[in-house]
Amino acid sequence: MGAAYYGAESESGDHIEDPSEDALFMLIDDLNGTDNTFVVIQPDQDDQAWFTSVAVLDEGGYEVVRRDTARREHDVTTETSIDQIARDLTIWTAARDFPGRPTQHTGNFQNTP
């Protein structure tokens, strides 16, 4: 198994390293308004430049916080769809910087004969 780049941990103590979209969905779906009210996702390093969290709102739905100090981003939204939250956070965390992670290349690759 490779290195863990980030982890998700709920208030109840559930912890998943490098969670998939499905794993995030399950962690968020397990949240409730009494003893498991939030999930925090953050890098597995001492100097954490970013984090995101999902918290249950008293009036229903979820508050989603995304913060990345290196990119000067701070976003707070509310959402009701766990599917949408898990998808958005999977995409957002994939775009973060992780020391030691291989560089992601994007571009137009063409087959050459």
The reported pLDDT for the residue numbered 1 is: 43
- Residues 54-67 pLDDT 10s: 999 999 999 999 99
Instruction: Confirm whether pTM is higher than 0.85.
Output: no
pLDDT for the residue numbered 4: 65
Amino acid identity for residue 10 in this structure = S
Mean pLDDT of the chain: 86
d(CA 42, CA 53): 9
Contact criterion met (CB below 8 Å) for 39 and 53 = yes
Strand duo 62-68 + 73-79: pairing: antiparallel
Tens-digit pLDDT profile for residues 71-110: 999 999 999 999 999 999 999 998 886 655 554 545 555 5
